[in-house]
Amino acid sequence: MQLNTADGKLQNEELIDLRAYFRIINQYKWRIFTFSIMVTLIVGTVTFALTPKYKATAVMLLEAEHVKAVSIEEVYGFDSSRKEYLQTQYQILKSRRLAENVIDELGLLTHKEFLPKEDSAVKQFIDSIKEALPIEREVVEVSEAEKLRRAKSRAIAIFLSRLTVSAVPKTQLVNISFEAESPHFAAKVANALGEEYIASHREDKVIATTKASDWIRERLESLSVRLRASEGELQRFREEEGLVDMEGVVALASRELNEITSQLTKARQARSQTETLMRVLDNRNPDDVSELESLPEISEHRWIQEAKRAEGVAEQRVAELSKRYGPKHSRMKAAQAQLEEARANLHRQVEKLIRGIEQEVQATKDNEVALVAELAKAKHRYQVLTRTETRHRELTREVESNRRLHNTFMNRLKEASAVGDFNTAYARFTDRAVPPGLPAKPNKKLIIVAAFIASFGLAVIMAFLIHSLSDTIASPEDVELYLSQRIVGVIPKVKVKKKGNVRIHSFFENDMQSFSEAWRTLRTGLVLSHLDAPSKVIAVTSTLPNEGKTTTAINTAFAMGQVERVLLLDADIRKPSVCRRFGIPNYQPGVTNLLTGTHSLDQCIYHDDVSGIDILVAGSPMPNPLELLAKNGFEELVSKLRGLYDRIIIDTPPSRVVSDALVVAKQADSTLYVVRADQVRRSTILEAIGRLQRLEVRVDGVVLNAINKRNSKDIYDYNYGDVYGSTDYQEQVVSTRKESVT
């Protein structure tokens, strides 16, 4: 089937035909229901024969936070806050040890439900045969202890198989269920197991506490010795090193080291600055004061700035007086002298500053060297103190560690002694088990319903499997799908009551209307398919014997004979059956007599009064029927009969067995190929049809014979018995046939 996709392209999509699956189920429905009902009856019989089992359930609360006198959880080795704790308790409830304790407490070894079952009759019979055989057997003596062990092991296995421990979701509750044939016994065992679990917990707690106390006491003694030894070693170290406050000494040394490092950094910065200035001065002319004065390091000095201000004042005075007096005036001379003195002072100050810078460079170098030496000494002192401090800390940590362990074990020993007789329960009953009123199993209704559903499903699967493995033609769809042929007729399978040897005229009986209507439908199909070129001669063949080709030829002739003048010709000379079917004497001449010229046509024609058709039987047996049929005489016979009858139906041998059918079919206008449902393999049918087609024999289609009515009802539903079975209709058919014959 082609569907348009969203992108405009076409793609092939294979649709599942659900009707095909329903047809398969419908085909096998009675076998499916029979199988399901038989299995259900067997299961129901076994279920009702089973002994009912009662299940009693006790509900317990497992404490997640235990009531305790002191903190001693670590001693017992569990953490009840973890989810694994509850899972562990469920497994303990199902342990063999608790089961064995309950069995001993209740004396279940002698209980009837725990005693070994008696051997079945089959087992006893086999054992008796073994005893009768002359075989020497080794006798093994079993001690009483071994017998008891085996009996207890068997009882534990039975006990655990009947025990169910399940958690209530999202709670700390647990259900303890036990199955037994007696409701009171089931409740008793469930309660006994819960009580044994509580008692076992208390006993385990006492044992764990005792063992823990003994072990802690031993460890405490050794820890006391170690603590005293570590404290003595620490004290000796302090005395040897003369330590009082180790942390204060180390802090003081650290501060001193930091201070010297800071001073050294500043000294190096000062020395670097003075050396830089000296390099600048060395690159200038020392006699050029004005050039030296221009240096920022010189000009920004306080002394130089004061000398420059004095020089500026003197220059300003000389400039003011020069406007009033001449150069030889006393005031002018005095101002000039003052200016010269100011300039000389500036020169002296520059020289003095330069000498001071040279001295400062040497001083910073000496200071740096001294600080480096002092820093080395401080580092050495600090390293010595650090090693001493490290050793002191090691000894201190050892003492503290031993003291903590000693105190911890001392506290645990006191806690273990305090809780040794504290028997709080780790679990308690919220609901004790009571005897149930109804059995828990078997759930007979559920088992029977499940057995029916399961067997029905299995039967359906088997039906599909059988159908898929089948290599035969079972339905009209198979004809079109596997044989690529047109379906001409579907003949239902009917059961006939034989009168004498054969019941040949079932077509005309009132209780066979569905059978008759199938042939009428076949007749209608043949007539309508040859409206342009009527097919007067129709050959009927099949793949193998016993597929119903003779029945098809006879009933097709009956159907045609109601409206036409029909001749039924038996061309199966090797194994003729038309003569026997109609009760015609064996000496009746037929086809072979006509072909050999021993009898005339009038002598060979047999008229059936019931159906109104003429019959030409096979005739006398011949040793070489194929050569006889291949001669021109048979072709001439068929040509002669064409002018005497409206329709000639020829019964031929199976096409797969002999070649007679191929020769006869060449003389016919069309061929009906009979296939019996669920009998012949598809490959064999295809091979036989292929032989006909290679000889250019026209095959009108396939007549599917003996198909089950329930499989063909949806194709041809012949529910017209009220019409076709009426007397008026039968009289009308007979009169129509007589008029046609006349």
Are 491 and 345 part of one and the same domain?
A: no
Q: Please report whether residue 709 resides in a domain.
A: yes
Are 358 and 478 part of one and the same domain?
A: no
State the sign of the Cα–Cα–Cα–Cα dihedral 245, 250, 253, 254.
negative
Q: Please report whether residue 117 resides in a domain.
A: no
Res. 738 pLDDT band, cuts 50 70 90: very low
Percent of the chain with pLDDT over 70: 77
Tell me which of 498 and 152 has the higher pLDDT.
152
Work out the average pLDDT over 319-326: 75
What CATH number should be reported for the domain holding residue 719?
3.40.50.300
- pLDDT at residue 290 above 60? no
Distance set, CA 383 to CA 373, 378, 392 (Å): 16, 9, 14
Are 720 and 607 part of one and the same domain?
A: yes
User: Given this model, what pLDDT does residue 638 score?
Assistant: 94
Q: Which of 393, 417, 445 is the last residue of a domain?
A: 393
Distance CA 707, CA 270 (A): 124
User: Given this model, what pLDDT does residue 289 score?
Assistant: 53
User: Given this model, what pLDDT does residue 419 score?
Assistant: 57
Place of tokens 């199938």: 518
Distance CA 358, CA 494 (A): 143
User: Given this model, what pLDDT does residue 731 score?
Assistant: 44
Q: Please report whether residue 449 resides in a domain.
A: no
Nearest to 58 by CA among 177, 168, 166, 141: 177
Work out the average pLDDT over 335-361: 72
- pLDDT at residue 274 above 60? yes
User: Given this model, what pLDDT does residue 51 score?
Assistant: 80
Q: Please report whether residue 543 resides in a domain.
A: yes
- pLDDT at residue 499 above 50? no
pLDDT in tens, 678-720: 889 999 999 999 999 999 999 999 999 988 765 554 454 444 4
| pTM over 0.85, yes/no | no
Asked if residue 338 lies in contact with residue 315, where contact means CB atoms within 8 angstroms, the answer is no
Range with the poorest average pLDDT among 75-84, 457-466, 642-651: 75-84
Number of domains in the chain: 2
Q: Please report whether residue 517 resides in a domain.
A: no
Q: At what angle do helices 183-241 and 96-106 cross, to 10 degrees?
A: 130
Output the DSSP codes for 313-339. HHHHHHHHHHTTS-TTSHHHHHHHHHH
Are 610 and 732 part of one and the same domain?
A: yes
Residue 702 DSSP SS3 = strand
Are 485 and 371 part of one and the same domain?
A: no
pLDDT in tens, 223-253: 788 878 887 887 777 777 666 666 666 677 7
Are 384 and 480 part of one and the same domain?
A: no
- pLDDT at residue 1 above 70? no
Asked if residue 531 lies in contact with residue 519, where contact means CB atoms within 8 angstroms, the answer is no
Are 486 and 354 part of one and the same domain?
A: no
Cis peptide before 134 (omega within 30 of 0): no
Distance CA 509, CA 521 (A): 17
Are 388 and 488 part of one and the same domain?
A: no
Q: Which of 341, 366, 393 is the last residue of a domain?
A: 393
568 forms beta bridges with 615, 649
Tell me which of 342 and 603 has the higher pLDDT.
603
Nearest to 538 by CA among 513, 555, 518: 555
Highest average pLDDT, of 379-383, 407-411, 492-496, comes from: 407-411
Res. 473 pLDDT band, cuts 50 70 90: confident
User: Given this model, what pLDDT does residue 11 score?
Assistant: 43
User: Given this model, what pLDDT does residue 421 score?
Assistant: 53
- pLDDT at residue 542 above 70? yes
Are 539 and 688 part of one and the same domain?
A: yes
Highest average pLDDT, of 233-237, 262-266, 507-511, comes from: 507-511
User: Given this model, what pLDDT does residue 456 score?
Assistant: 92
Output the DSSP codes for 94-111. T-HHHHHHHHHHHTGGGS
Q: Which of 393, 408, 429 is the last residue of a domain?
A: 393
The average confidence (pLDDT) of the chain is 79
- Cβ of 68: how many Cβ atoms within 10 Å? 14
Res. 632 pLDDT band, cuts 50 70 90: confident
Highest average pLDDT, of 277-281, 299-303, 380-384, 583-587, comes from: 583-587
Tell me which of 207 and 643 has the higher pLDDT.
643
pLDDT in tens, 153-186: 988 999 999 899 988 888 888 999 999 888 898 8
Work out the average pLDDT over 290-302: 57
3-state SS of 11-73?
EECCCCCHHHHHHHHHHCHHHHHHHHHHHHHHHHHHHHHCCCEEEEEEEEEECCCCCCCCCCH
Q: Please report whether residue 335 resides in a domain.
A: yes
Distance set, CA 112 to CA 50, 57, 182, 690, 741 (Å): 17, 21, 11, 77, 92
User: Given this model, what pLDDT does residue 458 score?
Assistant: 94
Nearest to 619 by CA among 581, 650, 583, 593: 593
User: Given this model, what pLDDT does residue 112 score?
Assistant: 84
Q: At what angle do helices 183-241 and 330-418 cross, to 10 degrees?
A: 140
Res. 201 pLDDT band, cuts 50 70 90: confident
User: Given this model, what pLDDT does residue 358 score?
Assistant: 67
- pLDDT at residue 205 above 50? yes
List Cβ<8 Å contacts ≥24 apart for 284-293: 286/354, 289/346, 289/347, 289/350, 292/350, 292/354, 293/346, 293/350
User: Given this model, what pLDDT does residue 2 score?
Assistant: 41
Res. 547 pLDDT band, cuts 50 70 90: very high
Mention every residue, 6+ apart, whose C-beta is less than 8 A from residue 199: none
Are 481 and 582 part of one and the same domain?
A: yes
Work out the average pLDDT over 556-561: 95
Res. 551 pLDDT band, cuts 50 70 90: very high
Are 604 and 733 part of one and the same domain?
A: yes
pLDDT in tens, 407-448: 887 787 777 666 555 555 578 888 898 988 888 888 888 888
Structural domain harbouring 363: 271-393
- pLDDT at residue 732 above 60? no
Tell me which of 208 and 512 has the higher pLDDT.
512
Q: Please report whether residue 23 resides in a domain.
A: no
- Cβ of 414: how many Cβ atoms within 10 Å? 14
Range with the poorest average pLDDT among 295-309, 325-339, 372-386: 295-309
Range with the poorest average pLDDT among 26-35, 244-253, 339-348: 244-253
Nearest to 292 by CA among 283, 695, 426: 283
Are 531 and 632 part of one and the same domain?
A: yes
Q: Please report whether residue 77 resides in a domain.
A: no
